[in-house]
Amino acid sequence: MEHTRSLTALGRSGRIGPLIVKLLMLGVLDSVLVFLALILIGRGDWGILVIVTAAGLAINWVYLSKRALPAKYITPGLVFLAIFQVFVIGYTVYIAFTNYSTGHILNKDQAIESLLSQSQSRVADSHQYPVTVVRDGDAFGFLVTAEDGTAYLGFADQPLAPVDATFEDGTAVAAEGVQSLQYADILANQEAIFDLAVPAGDSAEDGWLRTLDGRSAYEYESSREYDAVADTMTDTTTGVVYTDGGDGAFVAPDGTRILPGWQINVGLDNFERAITEPTIRGPLMYVLVWTFAFAFLSVLLTFALGVALALLLNDPRMRGRKVYRLVMVLPYAFPAFLGALVWSGMFSTSFGFINQVLLGGAAVPWLTDPTMAKIAVLLVNLWLGFPYMFLVATGALQAIPDDILEAARTDGATPWGIFRHVKLPLLMVSMAPILISSFAFNFNNFNVIYLVTGGGPRDTAASIPVGFTDILISLVYKVAFTGQMRDYGLASAFSIIIFVVVAAISIVSFRKTKTLEEMN
């Protein structure tokens, strides 16, 4: 009896332990979701808030319900799929239909605040406020003593607010939670401190406080005024009235735009620009053609060289085959990014190993001529890619039954005939999916292009940062992350084009592969 009770107690404790762990994990998850929900409410992102809330409730139901046992195992995978795949693709599609770019990152309210804060001038009759420069982490702020002796604390993103402070000679010199800077600290950070503008109130119309010496602050006001009713921005100095131009920026009557603007939905405008704007359409077309050519030639050359070496080293009459095979796979074992960097150095026109040693001091412009640069990246990709094809082809050749080859020889087939009618069809059954995946990989082979040529040489006639060896993925990177104008919306549109093209190629290719398998 006592033994039975101990077993029962053990069973209960065995169930309670996992239950506590589950409740703790759900508690942590719910805390994160509540924190995220509060942020979304503050930003007004109601659509995302609904999705996050629904997902949180669904996860809680799955792990608290006794009827959802299968879902308990697949839910983590679905969550990661949603975060790292569905969300990324969905957000990219969303950005492709906006003007999200340099100068159009903020929402309209933020853009208005920024425009007002940009044009600050000192108020002529401003009172001189004693100020102590403080720091909270990496952020600088002002501890200000008002005319009535009240202490106020504020930062660039936090308007002045009353605070309890320590006073010396009637001036607030310290407050809880912030570090008061000494004069030496102010000198060491004077550029950031003298550029600092602390809002005097919640509205830009309340003005800002700024300091020129770290000891006293003065009132500044904007030379622009925003009329919320008319939705106009007026420059009080010149009298020019800027109106909402409909493209996410305020525009003057003469067409002058002031930035920053704000993010808006532009529909198919980014896709239309890619197709109709000559300075974008031209580069996009030759980049698209070169992308296909680069992917196709890379697969063709690596496949041809890999199969040729596999046939050669699969001959039982050759001595030292194991040593040769080991040498052949060395490029595959070498880190790809290091290999690309080494090759880039060897292709140097003036100091590269290829020109100075192999070509006897020639000045071949491997990286500066458009044609030679294309040849260079193909050679590097061939060196990096053929060992994999060699390994796969070797395995596929060794899997071909000897009796089939012997039957072909008995029927009088030549070595070329055996390869063409026996070995190659059987090789394609095994290697066709690999060739398709290799094509898709090279279609987006960013590393080789960027590390060897950087996409160059640059096309100076294009309105976007693009070079003659850029493929679509490197073009997307340059449009989004390089240059003075970073156009995330246009880059996202290019990304969707890449996705559609690769998906279409993959669907067609795998159907052809299935047909090939059925024929064999």
Q: Peptide bond preceding 457: is omega within 30 degrees of 0, i.e. cis? A: yes
The DSSP-derived string for 283-318 is HHHHHHHHHHHHHHHHHHHHHHHHHHHHHHHT-TT-
Contacts for 267 with CB less than 8 Å, ≥ 6 apart: 97
Q: How confident is the model at residue 47 (pLDDT cuts 50, 70, 90)?
A: confident
Residues of the chain with pLDDT > 90, as a percent, come to 32
pLDDT at 118: 80
Q: How confident is the model at residue 261 (pLDDT cuts 50, 70, 90)?
A: very high
Residue with tokens 């919640």: 202
Q: How confident is the model at residue 10 (pLDDT cuts 50, 70, 90)?
A: very low
pLDDT at 25: 85
Residue with tokens 């607030």: 172
- 324 pLDDT higher than 80: no
Give the pLDDT mean for 90-105. 90
For residue 386, which of 444, 305, 317, 443 has the smallest C-alpha distance? 305
**For residue range 245-259, what is the model confidence (pLDDT) as tens digits?**
888 999 999 989 998
- 382 pLDDT higher than 90: yes
Mean pLDDT score across all residues of the chain: 86
Give the pLDDT mean for 445-458. 91
Structure token digits, residue 358: 């192999």
Tell whether domain 275-519 is in CATH 1.10.3720.10: yes
Q: How confident is the model at residue 379 (pLDDT cuts 50, 70, 90)?
A: very high
Return the minimum-mean-pLDDT range out of 19-23, 77-81, 294-298, 300-304. 19-23
Contacts for 344 with CB less than 8 Å, ≥ 6 apart: 367, 451, 452, 453
- 7 pLDDT higher than 50: no
CA contacts within 13 A on the Cβ side of 419: 11
Q: Residue 392: which H helix or E strand, with range?
A: helix 370-398
| Beta strand segments in 110-261, E | 120-122, 129-136, 139-145, 151-155, 158-162, 165-168, 171-175, 179-180, 198-199, 208-211, 216-222, 224-227, 232-235, 241-244, 250-251, 257-258
Distance CA 391, CA 259 (A): 56
Distance CA 106, CA 259 (A): 11
Return the minimum-mean-pLDDT range out of 232-236, 376-380, 389-393, 507-511. 507-511
φ/ψ (deg, to 5) at 146: -75, 175
pLDDT at 133: 94
pLDDT at 463: 83
Give the pLDDT mean for 409-432. 83
Comparison of pLDDT for 283 and 8, the residue scoring more: 283
Give the pLDDT mean for 387-404. 86
Give the pLDDT mean for 196-221. 88
- 514 pLDDT higher than 70: no
pLDDT at 18: 72
pTM: 0.75
Q: What is the CATH number of domain 108-226?
A: 2.40.430.10
**For residue range 106-161, what is the model confidence (pLDDT) as tens digits?**
889 889 888 888 888 888 888 899 999 999 988 999 999 998 899 999 998 899 99
SS3 212: coil
pLDDT at 45: 76
Give the pLDDT mean for 463-473. 90
Distance CA 252, CA 231 (A): 13
**Which residues, in sequence order, are bridge partners of residue 222?**
120
Give the pLDDT mean for 70-88. 83
Most confident of 324-333, 494-503, 508-517: 494-503
pLDDT at 174: 94
The residue ranges of every structural domain in the chain are 2-96, 108-226, 275-519
For residue 476, which of 284, 235, 276 has the smallest C-alpha distance? 284
pLDDT at 15: 64
